Structure 1
Amino acid sequence: MIVDAHAHFLPRGYPEGAPECFPAMEPIDGGDDLLLVFGQTRFPAKQVFFEAEKRIEAQDASGASAEVVSPMPPLLRYDLPAGDGLALAQHVNDFAAELCAYDPERLIGLGMVPMQDPDAAAGELAAIADRGLAGVEIASNILGRSIGDPAFLPFFQEVERLGLSVFVHAMPSPSDRLPMSAMGTYVVGIEGMYSAASLILGGTAEACPDLRVSFSHAAGGFAMSLPRANYFWSGAWNEEPRDLERAVMPDDGPSPLDYARRFYYDSMVFDRRAIRYLVDLLGADRLLVGSDFPAMLREDPIARTLRSSGLTDDEWGQVASENAYRWLGRTRP
């Protein structure tokens, strides 16, 4: 059994009379595909983005048993007025519930919330749970603010209280330090690292010990920064016993690595050597299959690189499906 924990959907349309700032799905000549038009975004969307039957067919073709489907990241527009952002989220969440109702065991939905208004975002979580969705997708930053900012702590506390899951998708933040050509490559690594580190450094991980959160693309460069962070905490190399005389920031609480091992990470890192590092550092019980489908093509067959990474049968069973259901807080079928 293989669960693709990083896949996306788009609603097939938006209600008449919606605010002008809403997206539009425009027909594409010569077929049934649609063009997402949202601000500067122009994205051609194949039917598999919004037709449940097509998604199941695509799962069967690739060898996937189920997908965790989250909104296509361009929909996470936190620059919209808060009321419009909430209305958009509610429409997207309604569509997610409709899509997943086609086959709830094979299509597990995540919704979205207007993180530009943390109170409204927290207030929408109960409705997400009522729709049968497993949790929410959020961006790695909120208009340049880290998700570990104390302003967002009540939101995460409500997520934890309701037993929902969070998927953090790396998104560009306002910056001119790298060219636009880096937005889909290096920035993903930087943003993933910032978002995961901020949950530790901002106190969210401490305040919400039962929070179930996953990061796209293994939180980018986060895993490479952890040994250094752990050294500053412990004064020791290689996770050897703490040496408080050498520790720069001694702390009686969990180590950075202990906190990091509470999170989940999709393993779409494009190289088996990177996967081996993640398994060695964080544990096979922390990794999920991910593909970014259908925005990106799946490997053929799905998780081909994972399968070739030298995992034991037990490790493969965890990564292929067991971890996904633990992250979702659901019983594996």
Structure 2
Amino acid sequence: MLVDAHAHLLPHDYPPDAPECFPRMEAVDGETARTLVFGAMRFTARDVFFDAERRIEEMDASGVDVEVLSPMPPLLRYDLPPADGLSLARHVNEFSATLAAADPSRIKALGMVPMQDPDAATAELKAVQDQGLHGVEIASNVLGRSIGHEQFLPFFQEAERLGLAVFVHAMPSPSERLPMAAMGTYTVGVEGAYAAGSMVSGGTAAACPDLRISFSHAAGGFPLMLPRAQYFWGGSWNEEPVDLTRAVMHDDGPSPLELARRFWYDSMVFDRRAIRFLIDLLGADRLLVGSDFPAMLREEPAGRTLRSMDLDPQAWADISGANAFRWLGIDPPG
């Protein structure tokens, strides 16, 4: 069993009477692909983004048993007016549910919500659940504000109450901390770290102990920051017993590492040495297979690097599939 927990979809079309700020999908002459037009963005989307039959064919070719599909990240446009953001989310969610219904055993879908209006996003979670979607994808920041800000705590509390999974995808911040040339590389590491770090340092992780949340690309640089956070909290190196004579930020709650081990992380970090570090620091029960497919090409077969690592059977079983079902909160196939 191999579950790709980080793959993307795009709707085939948008309503003809949609607001002008909505995306468009334009036909490509002589091809089954379509062009996503969203503001200044132009992206050629192969039919596998929106055609369930093609999706299953590509999964079979790559050795993928189940895909967890989330909206293509550019759809997470929190700069839209809140009412338009809600309308866009509802259209995307309806398409996501329809795509998953084509083969519910192979396709598990996530929706999206307008995080620019936290109250509306929170209220929409029940509708997401009622559509049969397993959770939502959100961006790593909302108009430059990290997701661990107290403004978003009610949203995460409601996701926890409903038992919905949350997938955090690293996205650039309006503050432009890095040049645009770094958007697909270093930005992922920086924004993922900000998002996960804010969930720990802002108190959301402690306040929502049963929240099932995962981070794209292992939350970027976050895992390497954790030992330092652990030292400031507990005053010791190498996760040794707490030394309060050295600790400068100690509290009586869970340690940063304990909180971080409540999250899940997709293991698309492009190097087996990085994966070994993640397993050693966070645990094999915290990692997921991810590919960013079809926005990026998958390894062939899927999970090739993980397969090459001679993992013990339990670690492989967890990472290749069991963890994804735990994160989604559903039972694995019998």
2:37 partner SS: strand
Which residue of structure 2 aligns with residue 196 of structure 1? 196
Which residue of structure 2 aligns with residue 68 of structure 1? 68
1:151 partner SS: helix
Q: Tell whether 2:89 aligns with 1:107.
A: no
Tell me the CA shift for residue 226 of structure 1.
0.3
Normalised TM-score (structure 1): 0.99
Q: Tell whether 2:163 aligns with 1:163.
A: yes
Which residue of structure 2 aligns with residue 271 of structure 1? 271
Extract structure 1 runs of 4+ deviating beyond 3 A.
Answer: none
Tell me the CA shift for residue 252 of structure 1.
1.3
1:111 partner SS: coil
Q: Whole-Å Cα distance in 1 between the matches of residues 28 and 193 of structure 2?
A: 37
What do the CA deviations read for 1:154-194 (whole angstroms, capped 9, x no partner)?
Answer: 11111011100000000000234421101110010000000
1:18 partner SS: coil
Q: Whole-Å Cα distance in 2 between the matches of residues 138 and 229 of structure 1?
A: 25
Q: Whole-Å Cα distance in 1 between the matches of residues 234 and 308 of structure 2?
A: 34
Normalised TM-score (structure 2): 0.99
Q: Whole-Å Cα distance in 2 between the matches of residues 206 and 171 of structure 1?
A: 24
1:224-243 paired onto structure 2 within 5 Å: 224-243=224-243
1:161 partner SS: helix
More off after superposition, 252-261 vs 303-312: 303-312
Q: Which runs of 5+ in 1 are unaligned?
A: none
Which residue of structure 2 aligns with residue 251 of structure 1? 251
8 Å contact 1:113–1:138 — kept in the other structure?
Answer: yes
8 Å contact 1:272–1:309 — kept in the other structure?
Answer: yes
Q: Aligned residues, how many?
A: 333
Tell me the CA shift for residue 16 of structure 1.
1.5
Q: Whole-Å Cα distance in 2 between the matches of residues 255 and 245 of structure 1?
A: 16
Q: Whole-Å Cα distance in 2 between the matches of residues 176 and 55 of structure 1?
A: 35
Which residue of structure 1 aligns with residue 310 of structure 2? 310
- The aligned amino acid for 1:147 is I
- The aligned amino acid for 2:152 is F
What do the CA deviations read for 1:217-267 (whole angstroms, capped 9, x no partner)?
Answer: 000000000000001111111011111101111211100000000000000
Q: Whole-Å Cα distance in 2 between the matches of residues 176 and 163 of structure 1?
A: 34
Q: Whole-Å Cα distance in 2 between the matches of residues 313 and 218 of structure 1?
A: 22
What do the CA deviations read for 1:40-77 (whole angstroms, capped 9, x no partner)?
Answer: 11100000000000000011000000000000000000
More off after superposition, 248-257 vs 84-93: 248-257
- The aligned amino acid for 1:231 is Y
Which residue of structure 1 aligns with residue 138 of structure 2? 138
- The aligned amino acid for 2:188 is V
Which residue of structure 2 aligns with residue 148 of structure 1? 148
8 Å contact 1:143–1:173 — kept in the other structure?
Answer: yes
Q: Which runs of 5+ in 2 are unaligned?
A: none
**C-alpha distance 177-208 of structure 1, shift in aligned 2 (>3 A):** closer
- The aligned amino acid for 2:247 is A
Q: Whole-Å Cα distance in 2 between the matches of residues 258 and 177 of structure 1?
A: 29
Which residue of structure 2 aligns with residue 38 of structure 1? 38
Q: Whole-Å Cα distance in 2 between the matches of residues 32 and 330 of structure 1?
A: 34
Give aligned-pair identity as a percent. Answer: 71
Which residue of structure 1 aligns with residue 174 of structure 2? 174
**C-alpha distance 227-273 of structure 1, shift in aligned 2 (>3 A):** same
Q: Whole-Å Cα distance in 1 between the matches of residues 211 and 41 of structure 2?
A: 32
1:69 partner SS: strand
